[in-house]
Amino acid sequence: MKILAVANQKGGVGKTTTSVNLAAGLAALGQRVLLVDLDPQGNATSAVAAEIESPPTLYGPLTGTSDVRSCLTPTRLENLSLIAANIDLAGLEIEVARMDDHLQQLRRALQPLRDENAFDFAILDCPPSLGILMTNALAAANQLLVPVQCEYYALEGLGKLMFVMGQIRESGANPGLTLSGLLMTMFDRRTNLAEAVVKDVREHFQEVLYDTVIPRTVRLSEAPSFGRTIFEHDPRGPGAEAYGKLAKEFLKRHEDKLAFVNA
């Protein structure tokens, strides 16, 4: 099971939209996917399990009072399971911070799923902050995916996130953590600004930037309010097309790395 953290401490960049729809896109391609909602706002939970009342969260596994396997919630989407979140996770930050070796709590909690190879991918939707839950996600993940909004302040704060990622590796908490890539989101083709930002980012981060660019669309914005993924809400629209392409590009990158390792 490969674990991907989707993170950016800057809010409003399409982080949860990307977590939900990449997870749904991979599931549609036949991958066994676990979506882990680490944001106390629970927006990812609402998008894929709005019809399920009070699904279990990571509170128990992270405090050592329950097994992570008891928190798995099947969703209406084939191949996609969820570990939900709610406002209780906000208080969890304080509890986990008091624990010995607090950075390893999420890694330990997810280990039974890794040992059983229960899923092909687990996607961690991180809260928009550099707090305990995000650093736990970075310590547990194999890779980090960073959604970046198509605006000139898009890379603001990215340096801090990369610094924290480096600290996680150098401290020994997760020396194998790598950058899956940067994903440009909220692209508005009607403006010269968006085109200029993508061009600028591509020139500086060509090796790690995903080819797929996620457009700004009304349908992508409104899908969460209906408790749907973009594939359910607007299956033939540009948002669904873009996230479908992203899922395929993501899988291709993993296949290429696997081929390199086995060569």
Domain ranges (residues) in the chain: 2-262
3-state secondary structure of 145: strand
Q: Are 73 and 84 in contact (CB under 8 A)?
A: yes
Domain 2-262 indexed as CATH 3.40.50.300: yes
Q: Are 25 and 4 in contact (CB under 8 A)?
A: no
- Give the β-pairing of 80-83 and 73-74: antiparallel
pTM over 0.85: yes
Instruction: Show the tokens assigned to 246.
Output: 């992203």
When comparing pLDDT for 37 and 10, which is higher? 37
Res 213 pLDDT > 90 = yes
Least confident of 9-13, 140-144, 211-215, 224-228: 9-13
Q: Are 40 and 159 in contact (CB under 8 A)?
A: no
Nearest by Cα to 5 from 105, 143, 117, 121:
143
Residue carrying the six token digits 């509890």: 95
Task: State the Cα–Cα distance between residues 26 and 4, nearest whole angstrom.
Answer: 12
143 strand-pairing partners: 4, 178
pLDDT at position 160 is 86
Task: State the Cα–Cα distance between residues 263 and 256, nearest whole angstrom.
Answer: 10
Res 236 pLDDT > 90 = yes
pLDDT at position 259 is 43
Res 100 pLDDT > 80 = yes
When comparing pLDDT for 64 and 175, which is higher? 175
